[in-house]
Amino acid sequence: MNEEEEEEEEEEEEEEEFIEDLEDLGGGGGGKGKGGNVVGKITRELPNQPKNGFVFGGHHHRNNTSNNEDNDKENHHSVPGTQRIHVKTFGCAHNHSDSEFMSGQLQAYGYKLTDDPSEANLWVVNTCTVKNPSQAAMNTVLARAKTNEVPVVVCGCVPQGDQKAKELAEVSLLGVSQIDRIVEAVERTLRGERVLMLEKKSLPKLDLPKVRRNERVEIIPLSTGCLGQCTYCKTKHARGELGSYEIEAIIGRAKLAIEEGVTEIWLSSEDTGAYGLDIGSNVAELFKALVDVLPADQSVMLRLGMTNPPYILAHLPAIAEAMRHPSVFSWIHIPVQSGSSKVLDDMKREYTREEFEQVCDYLLEHVPDITIATDIICGFPGETESEWRETMSLIEKYKFPEVHISQFYARPNTPAFRMKRVNTLTVKNRSRELTKLTESYFPWTKLEGQKMKVWITDIAADGVSLVGHTKSYSQILLPGGEENVEKYMGTSAHVKVLSSSRWSCKAEIIENESEAAAGIQSSTSLHKKIALVESAGDTSNLNKKYGKKTRPKKNNNNNKGDILADVTEDYDDAYALRVQRIDKVSRYAEIAFGTTLCVASLGILYSKLVAPRA
């Protein structure tokens, strides 16, 4: 990465989609995997829908129908359930799961999903409110829709959290708990109505039909909302307080996905660690129930969701046990946001640096070869140079393989919006400094020459290489081509790692069974580690071993307000986390804004100094 790429956008490989949105509204309709393949599967007939609704069997593929077929959208514009719908999604894995459920309902009713917004009769835009660039991209999409006179249904966190935003004044709005009414919203909008469905209600059922973005990956939302009050977070305004699904409903969804042939199940929520605290359950009970339904042959892998430190401290042994299971990836996303306990207190993160380190130390000791991903916010209001040094020292200490770096964004109506901000140049410099640090170490070099098992679920951004993940969820790029895609996609294989870069490894597939077996035998050290961990015994003295919990003295002079805010960042998004991405949209916007200011200033100087003399 060069110096211009030192401001990471978020999670997800949404960076490319952001740029496409601003240029030509590129993006996924029924769902787009990293390799650009539109795939999906109807998972269940939509209940209680009109009789003229129907279910497509098999997979949803790109709509490449010719003009002679029914590509003219005007021919059936007035017939319910026959129009083309373009679905665009911004944000986290939870948002993508919501879009998959909405796409499934629309397709089950008869609507055709399309990647091409220009051929769609209506756009569904599922929005994210975490950062300014996310909402700016939404505004661009809506402006383009207005220019093209295309009706729009806007759903997700932006309309739920800020329905009075001027950009939403003329479009239909669907709240985060109303996704099971998407067919009604689309039908009425196509008739010319402006629909407002924003009232909070019970959680949508998990047995709704779904068109998956990647047919091999099932995203299961465990809950919505959180128990936090983070001062910088806008998502709390949309998702609200914690609302958990019953374990039986989650297990039912997992079983259904396994029956349909998925090979990865991702758990998603605003805070996995808080799961169940509102319904008398907890994450330990959930994990135990989930691993019991996973196939014994390790053909389906489970990936845990983003979890915040406060709520996993009490469940560390259970979480470690889950990640040691052969069918669970040894990967977890624990956003710390700052290495300074003082800044964490200003953020209302409800833990200290010492408690975060306690979580990391325990998991690193009790889960062999675990990968811990984390997030950092650079330049939170009031962050001093010495407090920033604490963040740098934390990353230097643990050298996390995945660090999602974000500059602070002041979101309207959050307590942090009213706090005194750090100089913009200082914020950028801190972002660049941290990026440089995270690019200076190479966590995957240790894998070179090793033979290991990987699970293959996707095609890389180059459109050729296969993408697999190890038990620790390190990304492995494998030779692609039609034959290998046909043979290995959606399966596991034994590979030999040939080389590594900062973000991934390249490997060759071991075709010879005896050689593959030798590779398995060479991995016995891993099983020995697991045996040692399992025999470690009582963990009740956790606090004694890893240090006493201490909290900094609260600074009551800080303007923190009492507006609820949440901890979530939209970095848990999906489809193989892309780390250290630059927020290009924000960067380009800053450049454009700076250029505009310069031109305006020159114009004023000319009018005052040069023009009068002329």
Of 144, 163, 197, which closes a domain? 197
Residues 108 and 23 in one domain: yes
The answer to the question of residue 124 being in a domain is yes
Say how far apart CA 357 and CA 365 lie, in whole Å.
Answer: 12
- DSSP conformation class of 435: H
* Alpha carbon 494 to chain centroid, angstroms: 28
> Which residues of the chain, if any, have pLDDT below 70?
1-80, 513-614
Evaluate the CA torsion angle 442, 446, 450, 453 in order and state its sign.
negative
Q: What is the DSSP letter of 77?
A: T
CATH number at residue 150: 3.40.50.12160
CATH classification at residue 502: 2.40.50.140
| Residue/partner pairs of 419-427 with CB below 8 Å, 24 or more apart | 419/231, 419/346, 419/381, 419/382, 419/558, 419/559, 419/560, 420/381, 420/382, 421/379, 421/381, 422/379, 422/380, 422/381, 422/382, 422/383, 426/379, 427/378, 427/379
Residues 6 or more apart whose Cβ sits within 8 Å of residue 289: 247, 250, 251
Question: In sequence order, what are the beta bridge partners of 220?
Answer: 267
Same domain, 168 and 57: yes
Whether residues 186 and 56 fall in one domain: yes
Domain assignment of residue 495, yes or no: yes
pTM: 0.75
Residue 148 contacts residue 100 (beta carbons within 8 Å): no
The two three-digit tokens of residue 184, written as one number: 């009604």
Q: Are residues 42 and 78 in the same domain?
A: yes
Q: Are residues 192 and 293 in the same domain?
A: no
Positive or negative CA dihedral for 540, 542, 548, 551?
negative
- In-domain check, residue 612: yes
Total domains, the chain? 4
Judge if 70 and 174 occupy the same domain. yes
For residues 103 and 180, membership in a common domain is answered with: yes
The answer to whether residue 413 sits within a structural domain is: no
* Residues sharing a CB contact under 8 Å with residue 174, sequence separation 6 or more, in sequence order: 153, 154, 155, 159, 181, 182, 185, 195, 197, 198
In a domain, 479, yes or no: yes
Does residue 207 fall inside a structural domain? no
The residue range of the domain holding 244 is 217-399+564-568
Q: Are residues 19 and 66 in the same domain?
A: yes
Q: What is the pLDDT of residue 276?
A: 97
- How far is it, in rounded angstroms, from Cα 276 to Cα 245? 8
Token digits of residue 238 = 């949309």
Instruction: Provide the 3-class DSSP secondary structure of residue 363.
Output: helix
Are both 76 and 39 inside the same structural domain? yes
The H-assigned helical ranges of 490-583 are: 513-521, 524-534, 542-546
Q: Can you tell me the distance from the alpha carbon of 112 to that of 121, in angstroms, rounded to the nearest whole number?
A: 10
Q: Is there a single domain that holds both residue 239 and residue 357?
A: yes
Q: What is the pLDDT of residue 602?
A: 57
- Same domain for 181 and 66, yes or no, is yes
| Same domain? 36 vs 182 | yes
Domain CATH number, residue 386: 3.80.30.20
In a domain, 7, yes or no: yes
The reply to whether 254 falls in a domain is yes
